[in-house]
A and B are shown apart, each in its own frame.
Chain A
Amino acid sequence: MAVAEKRILLKYADEPGYTPDIECYKKHGGYQMLEKTLKMKPEDISAEIMTSGVRGRGGAGFPMGMKMKFLDRKSGKPIYLVCNADESEPGTFKDRQIMYKDPHQLIEGMMITAYAINAKLAFIYIRGEMQEGARILENAIKEAREGGYLGDKILDSDYSCDMVVHRGAGAYICGEETGLLESLEGKRPNPRIKPPFFPAVLGLYQCPTLVNNVETLCNVKHIVEMGGEEYAKIGRPNNTGTRIWSVSGHVNKPGYFEFECGALTYGELIYDVCGGIPNGRKLKAVIPGGSSAKVLRADERFKGKLKDGTEFDWSIEDIPLDFDGPMAAGSMSGSGAVIVMDDTTDMVEAMANINAFYAHESCGQCTPCREGALWLKKVTTRMVNGGAREEDADLLKSIADQIEGRTICAFGEAAAWPVQSFVAKFKDEFIEKARAQANGAGKNGKMGAFTLA
């Protein structure tokens, strides 16, 4: 029996006849919360957000209220709001649902947030590949400006704030918030060194800046609507609200689903919601939160203690679908991208695919990530092309260990974690690859997955 979706952000998005224009949005109660907000004190909105406990939906899961609190308001510099719409984590396709189908929800969420932090200018940094999304947002902003929902003297109040859509140029690293800010400033998106360049203090144009994900900012509208306390009742403590999960890979019904945090488990998501694994094959592994999250093995047991002290002993199917569940299992919920792999998956090939991505996307600023990511790719590419050696598994792990924790930004971890976990959990396959090739299989560089399928 599948757990029902709880659609808050995606409430209307897929409703037949729902269009991204402002008339449709207003018919569905749009911009009423902005109107309500403008009569409130900014600090009260911040307080509601803090009370709601809403955590960032971009990957790190950092509480939004805390981010707002860190903003340097004493500097006298302007404060900027930036929406991180550079959705690029492999496996993730949730933010685009909102931006393409319900852009005004994002704009309203952003305007409320902007009012709360007294920002006069807000940016949506949208992934370069989402041309259509940028066009939709541009149009929505135009409509909102005409309707008086942004721009000068919003809804005849004293508050003014404008909004700009900025398209990226096709780089994953622009999703890293300081890289994003560099790009927004017109520079190469090299992430900044922290300290001192924390966005809340020295962000866009060296001014305090709040950077949040699309999904996170949309939540603000609903927090204002139901009140922080009420919002916090959705989900579980420390895992409040709903989340949109993008499920891809070997399931019968891949797609995006919005659930109350912790309302179901990964097992229920895969088997009940997504209809299980095709053709009666077996689950082999799950990447629970985007390609940079550590892979979980189907036959693993996860034991330990949660923060509240309760002990757990989970299989992959028992892990709660929220922030803390995958974290307790040694991985993370990341961007909410669940990648399912069945027993036909060649883990070395999967690894080679992931490594190719990170080698291509490393900005090249700092040594460990720049050189390590490409080396990892070169090793796994060689392995799948018939040149695997038994010692490559250890080499891969060693390279990843030399990257993790030593880079300027979290990209280093993003590139290292998959390798560390793949090798740790499927080392036998890496070694078997070399042995099979030594015995004549896969030497022509065209085999691999086909031999197993």
Chain B
Amino acid sequence: MSEDKKDQLITINVDGKDYEVPPGMNLIQAVEKYAQKEIPHYCYHEKLSVAGNCRMCLVEMGTPMRDRATGEPILDDNGVQKIGWMPKPAIACNSNTSPGLHIKTDSPLVKDCRNGIMEFLLVNHPLDCPICDQAGECRLQEFATEYGRGYSRFIEDKNVKPKRTRLGPRVTLDDERCILCSRCIRFSQEIAKDDVLGFVDRGSYSTLSCYPGKELANNYSLNTVDICPVGALTDTDFRFKMRVWFLKQAKSICTESSVGVNTVVWAREGKIYRITPRQNDGVNDTWMSDSGRRLYNLVESEMRLLAAKFKKDVVTTEKAIEKAVDILKGAKFGIVGNTQSSVEEMAGIQSLAKSHGAPVMFVGHIQEGDDLLISKDATPNTRGALLTGLTKALPYRQRDVVGRNLKKGEMKTLVVFNEDLIEAGVDKSLLEQVDIIYVGSQQNATSEMAKVVIPSQVVFEKAGSFVNQNFRLQKFEACIPAPQGVKSDAAIITSLRAGLGDEDASSSLAKIWESLSSDVKEFEDLSYSRIPDEGVQLDGSRFDQLNYIETGSLHYEAQPELAETA
């Protein structure tokens, strides 16, 4: 919704009360937003086309009466324009607000409609809630409680349909639970642009199916699971693993690319069970990629670094930091930053670099974009590195900065944040000439070479913020506790700085933001707690001359004049 303009508002009447609403707004949304009333629905989804097939949103509708011949309003005895009520109930999802529109959402007829639809939806629905993954977040359960009759008049045999159809590598279908709302079909056609789903057979025997020879394998297939209002489409990975009401939710940001997809991370007792998209109409709407949902594997990956090391020997993290400080004190050092780091971590690195004259270098990470929710920049915070002043150039536009710096031979030590320099193509012999202090969550060829290894937290274990491709500042929460002894990058940086004698070192988000808001023009007046869930749009015009690699996605347009050379 764009900003409501007061003078353009119109009046509609919901259950006898007038409300000021924008014209032409979808009725279900308008009633929910302005009248605070829910019109129950299954097939309607605000980001998909209207199908109008579930009939759950039937309401009574009327419009002000006008004389057909003259166009003059027809008034009642009190001089009020009469309302011409439609003879049949109409679906709200297929209607938009118009001046004087009257609707009834709680009349006996409307209640009877909902009651009837609920009964119909349940007659052939297996009542297997106790073993259904959707239980607890099932629209059928919710509306059955609110609008159902509470008992069944159906004594016939229920229809039998396939119970576990593999639609694709990640999605399993229970056809008996399907209420044929067609959301998944519309999603595949309209958003994923991968038209593989359809109904076969007819009537109550209609069955969701993939076209022959096709499968639901696109990288957005799991969104069909999210939007399925019942437990028909299930995530093969999550299926039967956990009851949803045991899971704690935390708001996070997907680190898959610079799009910065908003997510919810669902965890229990320190274990993440699933990641789902969080609606943000300026970023990802209600979608996210399948690959992004699997990033929680980082937490328990085989390559996870859990112990600090000094010269290959396991030591405590404190000891490792002590050793690192000793090395750094001795000689000139350089820092290899990472655009996976949060704004706050970057601020810490920037302070460290500034007070000790250390150059900060980056390695670029690019990938295939999909023009939807995965951009070509494979890291979430390139813009953050620009804003914090950690770099002036785009990492992926530079060639072997680390190697070139090492060749100068001035640096004796390299502090590397979660970056594999060997994989990035830096000459191994050059790296062997310096001491490496590796701070990161994942083991790699570089960490193997490091003199000091300090394990750090993954994104799900810490809080912070990223700036996405649109210069939208978005924050993420800690979702699960970190393994024992594993500290956040911010804490590690703070310890290093304190060890090196920096007096202002602090890992408190509030403290870091105090200096960020005074040092960085774009962050003026901001603090961590003031970043809303949907993020803050920053002014990125200071960096307009840069040749960004992103080609465009759901809510991002590539810079027209530079896109050609990208």
Chain A residues within CB distance 8 Å of chain B: 171, 173, 188, 190, 193, 195, 359-368, 370-375, 378-379, 382, 395, 398, 401-403, 405-408
Asked if residues A364 and B123 are in contact (CB atoms below 8 Å), the reply is no
With a cutoff of 8 Å between Cβ atoms, the chain B residues found around residue A361 in the complex are: 202-203
- B53: CB under 8 A from chain A? yes
Q: Which of A193, A195, A364, A408 contacts B203 (CB 8 A)?
A: A364
Q: Closest 5 interchain pairs by CB? A: A402-B116, A364-B206, A371-B120, A378-B156, A374-B204
Whether the Cβ atoms of A373 and B203 lie closer than 8 Å is yes
Q: CB-CB < 8 A to A370: which residues of B?
A: 120, 180, 203-204, 206
Contacting residues, chain B, for A408 (C-beta < 8 A): 52-53, 55
B90: min CB distance to chain A, Å: 9
A368 and B198 contacting across the interface, CB-CB below 8 Å: no
| CB interface residues, B 88-125, toward A, < 8 Å | 88-89, 91, 94, 112-113, 115-117, 119-121, 123-124
The closest CB in chain B to the CB of A371 belongs to: B120
**Contact between chains at A359 and B204 (CB < 8 Å):** yes
B157 located at the interface, meaning its Cβ lies under 8 Å from any Cβ of chain A in the complex: yes
B55 and A193 contacting across the interface, CB-CB below 8 Å: no
A362 touching B204 by the CB < 8 A rule?
yes
Cβ–Cβ < 8 Å partners of A359 in chain B: 203-204
Quote the shortest CB–CB distance from B148 to chain A (angstroms). Answer: 13
| Contact of B54 with A367 in the complex, beta carbons under 8 Å | yes
Contact of B202 among A363, A371, A406 (CB under 8 A): A363
Measured in the bound complex, the distance between the Cα atoms of B87 and A395 in whole Å is: 24
Residues of A within 8 A of B124 (CB): 371, 374
Would A188 and B55 be within 8 Å (CB), given that A193-B50, A406-B89 are in contact? Answer: no
Complex Cα spacing A193 to B153, Å: 30
Check if B211 is an interface residue, CB within 8 A of chain A: no
User: Are A188 and B198 touching (Cβ within 8 A)?
Assistant: yes
Name the residue of chain B whose CB is nearest to the CB of A375. Answer: B123
Instruction: Assess A367 versus B55: contact at CB under 8 Å? Given A375-B156, A402-B120, A406-B89.
Output: yes
- A193 and B90 alpha carbons, distance in the complex (Å): 11
Docked complex Cα distance between A408 and B87 (Å) = 15
Chain A residues, CB < 8 A from B159: 374
A interface: dominant SS? helix
Contact indicator A375/B154 (Cβ below 8 Å): yes
Q: How far is the CB of A40 from chain B (nearest CB, A)?
A: 31
Sample of 10 A–B contacts (CB below 8 Å):
A361-B203, A363-B202, A364-B201, A366-B54, A371-B121, A373-B203, A398-B153, A402-B117, A405-B87, A407-B55
**CB-nearest residue of chain B relative to A407?**
B55
Q: Cα distance A337–B495 when bound, in Å?
A: 90
Across the two chains, which residue of chain B brings its CB closest to A189?
B202
Q: Are B180 and A364 in contact (CB under 8 A)?
A: yes
Q: How far is the CA of A402 from the CA of B111 in the complex (A)?
A: 11
Interface residues of B in 190-242 (CB under 8 A from A): 198-199, 201-206
Q: Is B402 an interface residue (CB 8 A)?
A: no
Q: Which of B54, B123, B202 gathers most chain A CB within 10 Å? A: B202
CA gap between A195 and B205 in the complex, in Å: 27
The residue on A at minimum CB distance from B158 is: A378
Contacts of A402 in B (CB 8 A): 112-113, 115-117, 119-120
Task: Tell me whether A368 and B204 are in contact (CB under 8 A).
Answer: no
Distance in angstroms between the alpha carbons of A76 and B121 in the assembled complex: 43
Closest residue of B by beta carbon distance from A373: B203
Not counting A367-B179, A405-B89, a sample of 10 additional A-B residue pairs whose C-beta atoms are within 8 angstroms of each other reads A190-B53, A362-B204, A364-B180, A364-B205, A368-B116, A370-B206, A374-B124, A395-B153, A402-B116, A406-B55
- Minimum CB distance partner of B58 in chain A: A406
A379 to B156, CA, bound (A): 7
Query: When each residue 124-164 of chain B gets 1 if its CB lies under 8 Å from chain A and 0 otherwise, what string results?
Result: 10000000000000000000000000000110110100000
The residue in chain A whose Cβ has the minimal distance to the Cβ of B159 is A374
Where the two chains meet, the residues of B that have a C-beta atom closer than 8 Å to any C-beta of A are 50-56, 58, 87-89, 91, 94, 112-113, 115-117, 119-121, 123-124, 153-154, 156-157, 159, 179-180, 198-199, 201-206
Q: How far is the CB of B391 from chain A (nearest CB, A)?
A: 51
Q: B123 to A371, Cβ gap below 8 A? A: yes
Residues of A within 8 A of B112 (CB): 402
Q: Which of A193, A373, A379, A401 contacts B52 (CB 8 A)?
A: A193
Can you name the residue of chain A whose Cβ is closest to the Cβ of B54? A367
Shortest Cβ distance from A195 into B: residue:
B94
Most buried by A among B124, B204, B206: B204
Which residue of A373, A382, A398, A407 contacts B204 across the interface (Cβ within 8 Å)? A373
The B interface, classified by DSSP as helix, strand, loop or mixed, is loop
8 Å CB contact of A406 from B50, B116, B121: B116
How many angstroms between the C-alpha atoms of A361 and B117 in the bound complex? 20
Pairwise interchain contact A360-B116, C-beta atoms closer than 8 A: no
Of the listed residues A188, A378, A379, A398, the one surrounded by the most CB atoms of chain B closer than 10 A to its CB is A378
Report if A360-B203 is in contact (Cβ < 8 Å); known contacts: A366-B54, A379-B156, A405-B89.
yes
The distance in angstroms between the C-alpha atoms of A407 and B53, with both chains bound, is 8
Known pairs A361-B203, A405-B89; A368 contacts B117 (CB<8 A): yes
The smallest C-beta distance from B8 to any residue of chain A, in angstroms, reads 23
Chain A residue, CB-CB nearest to B156 = A378
Q: Given A371-B123, A378-B157, A402-B119, do A364 and B204 touch, yes or no (CB 8 Å)? A: yes
Question: In this complex, what residue of B is CB-closest to A402?
Answer: B116
B435 → A minimal CB distance (Å): 67
**In whole angstroms, what is the CA distance A366 to B44 when docked?**
13
Does the CB pair B199–A188 fall under 8 Å?
yes
A362 with B202, Cβ < 8 A, contacts A193-B52, A195-B94, A367-B53 known: yes
Which residues of the partner chain A approach B205 to less than 8 Å between Cβ atoms? 364, 374
Residue from A190, A371, A378 having most chain B Cβ neighbours under 10 A: A371
Q: Is the CB of B204 within 8 A of A406?
A: no
The answer to whether B113 and A366 touch across the interface, beta carbons within 8 angstroms, is no
* Chain B residue contacts of A373, Cβ below 8 A: 203-204
| B88, A171: Cβ atoms closer than 8 Å | no
Shortest distance from the beta carbon of A95 to any chain B beta carbon, whole Å: 23
Q: Give CA–CA (A68, B204) in the complex, Å.
A: 36
Q: Which of A382, A398, A401, A403 contacts B156 (CB 8 A)?
A: A382
Known A-B contacts A362-B204, A407-B55; the reply to A367 vs B121 at CB < 8 A is yes
Given contacts A193-B94, A395-B153, A402-B120, contact A364 B55 (CB under 8 A): no
Nearest CB of A to B258, in Å:
38
List residues of chain B with CB within 8 A of the CB of A190: 53
Q: Which of B89, B121, B202 contacts A171 (CB 8 A)?
A: B202
Contacts A406-B88, A406-B89; A372 near B94 (Cβ below 8 A)? no
Given contacts A367-B54, A405-B89, contact A362 B120 (CB under 8 A): no
Q: B396 to chain A: closest CB distance in Å?
A: 44
Complex Cα distance A179/B407, Å? Answer: 73
Q: If the complex has contacts A364-B206, A406-B88, are A375 and B94 also in contact, measured as CB distance less than 8 A?
A: no
Contact partners of B206 in chain A: CB under 8 A: 364, 370
Considering the complex, give the chain B residue whose CB is closest to the CB of A362: B203
A407 vs B87: C-alpha distance in the bound complex, in angstroms? 14
Q: How far is the CB of B351 from chain A (nearest CB, A)?
A: 60
Indicate the member of A360, A368, A379 with the most B CB atoms within 10 Å. A368
B203 and A363 contact, CB distance less than 8 A: yes
Known: A371-B120, A402-B119. A366 touches B55 (CB 8 A): yes
CB nearest neighbor in A for B95:
A195
Alpha-carbon separation in the docked complex, A124 to B201 (Å): 25
Q: Report the separation of the CA atoms of residues A190 and B199 in the bound assembly, to the nearest whole angstrom.
A: 11
Kindly identify which residue among B52, B89, B116, B119 contacts A366, using a CB–CB cutoff of 8 Å.
B52
CB neighbours of B113 from chain A (8 A): 402, 406
The distance in angstroms between the C-alpha atoms of A398 and B91, with both chains bound, is 21
Interface centre among A362, A370, A382 (most CB of B within 10 A): A370
List of A residues within 8 angstroms of B54 by Cβ? 366-367
Query: Closest approach, in angstroms, between the C-beta of A380 and any C-beta of chain B?
Result: 11
Specify which chain B residues have a CB less than 8 angstroms from the CB of A406 in the assembled complex.
55, 58, 88-89, 113, 116-117
Q: Which residue of B lies closest to A173 (CB)?
A: B202
Q: A363-B203, A367-B120 are in contact. Are A405 and B88 (CB under 8 A)?
A: yes
**A392 (CB) vs chain B CBs: closest residue:** B155
Q: A193-B94, A372-B120 are in contact. Are A366 and B53 (CB under 8 A)?
A: yes
